[in-house]
Amino acid sequence: MKHFIDLHEDVSISDLEELLSIAEDLKAKTKAGIPHPLLAGKTLGMIFTKSSTRTRVSFEVGMYQLGGHPLFLNANDIQIGRGETISDTAQVLSRMVDAIMIRTFKHQDVVDLARFGTIPVINGLTDDQHPTQALADLLTIKEHKGTLKGLKLCYVGDGNNVANSLLQACAKSGMHISVASPASHTCPSFYVDQAKKDAAVTGSRIVMTTDPFAAAKDADVIYTDTWTSMGQESEKAARVAIFKDYQVNGELMSHAAKDAIFLHCLPAYRGYEVTADVIDSPCSVVFDEAENRLHAHKAILVKCLG
């Protein structure tokens, strides 16, 4: 696996299974206190043009635990923030570090880093996709449900980067997915069509709807994300009005399977996309999900650099 940029393009079905297996193994070793310096001597350059809690901490700690060295590169502190081209940045970093993880706005910037560089590139988040989160989500679901294939995940809310990557992840893993969004904010057809191609192989069912209750019916997993992502703060009032009928609350959860779990990539805003009685309830596994970013990201690092 040369890069981890796009789950559809870069990760085969067998790659995905191997990533989850590696993540499970590394998590077990971490819990048992067993050292696993699989990337000793390796250096990861981490470019951030978007702020982060979970992505930065998980990759930074992950590299330390794997015996490597993470190097934090804030856009304000490197030349890319002053207009240096992606091409030049990619070629320079390729001669100094072993891999690049980037969290940024334009998805094309990540694609171009891989195109012009000679080292693995990991997509830590773009406006279009969030594949590292999706891998942690699959790991969490598998831990709590014992399997992935044949389960139903319901995503409610904005058809954003998280939703796009969940479409890809569910299709690759054989999970059924129903996405409920307002017609004006559904996932781009490009990602829906991609998911359907993989679903034809794995048997996954892809359903796009505007009805959150229909989407939630008998779901094993209910998932939502913030209504206002980074860079959209000026649109908050308008977006709250658009998504007010897409809140995950007790009524919506009652349509899911009795043992359904709740996921949220965090940060969460109680009273908006989810009510406190859901996210703080026993069905919520959001902190297991957050922890699994560490183990999933370590698996990606090992697969790309090991």
DSSP string for residues in 72-138: EEETTTSGGGGT--HHHHHHHHHTT-SEEEEE-S-HHHHHHHHHH-SS-EEEEE-SS--HHHHHHHH
Q: What pLDDT score was predicted for residue 88?
A: 94
Radius of gyration of the chain (CA): 19
Burial of residue 249 (number of CB atoms within 10 Å: 0-12, 13-18, 19+)? middle
Q: Is it the case that residue 42 has pLDDT exceeding 90? A: yes
**What is the reported pLDDT for 101?**
98
3-state secondary structure of 20: helix
pLDDT at 290 over 70: yes
pLDDT in tens, 145-179: 999 999 999 999 999 999 999 999 999 999 999 99
pLDDT at 235: 87
- The stretches of 123-261 forming alpha helices (DSSP H) are 131-145, 161-173, 189-202, 212-216, 236-243, 250-253
Supply the residues annotated as catalytic.
103, 130, 133, 225, 265, 293
Q: Looking only at Cα atoms, what is the longest distance across the chain? A: 55
**What pLDDT band is residue 81 in, cutting at 50, 70 and 90?**
low
Angle 217-132-249 from CA coordinates, rounded to 5°: 30
Domains, the chain, ranges and CATH?
Answer: 7-130+292-305 (3.40.50.1370), 133-289 (3.40.50.1370)
Indicate the SS3 state at residue 182: coil
Residues 7/165, Cβ–Cβ less than 8 Å: yes
Q: Which of 24-28, 87-91, 169-173, 229-233 has the lowest mean pLDDT?
A: 229-233
Model confidence at 225, pLDDT cuts 50, 70, 90, reads very high
Tens of pLDDT, residues 247-284: 999 999 999 999 999 999 999 999 999 999 999 999 99
Say how many Å lie between the first and final Cα of the chain, rounded: 10
Q: Among residues of the chain, what percentage have pLDDT more than 90?
A: 92
- What confidence tens digit (pLDDT) does each residue in 229-257 have? 777 788 899 999 999 999 999 999 999 99
pLDDT for 232: 78
- Mean pLDDT confidence for 95-118: 97
Mean pLDDT computed over 43-59? 95
Sheet holding 99-103, edge to edge: 69-74, 43-48, 99-103, 121-125
CB atoms within 10 A of CB 194: 20
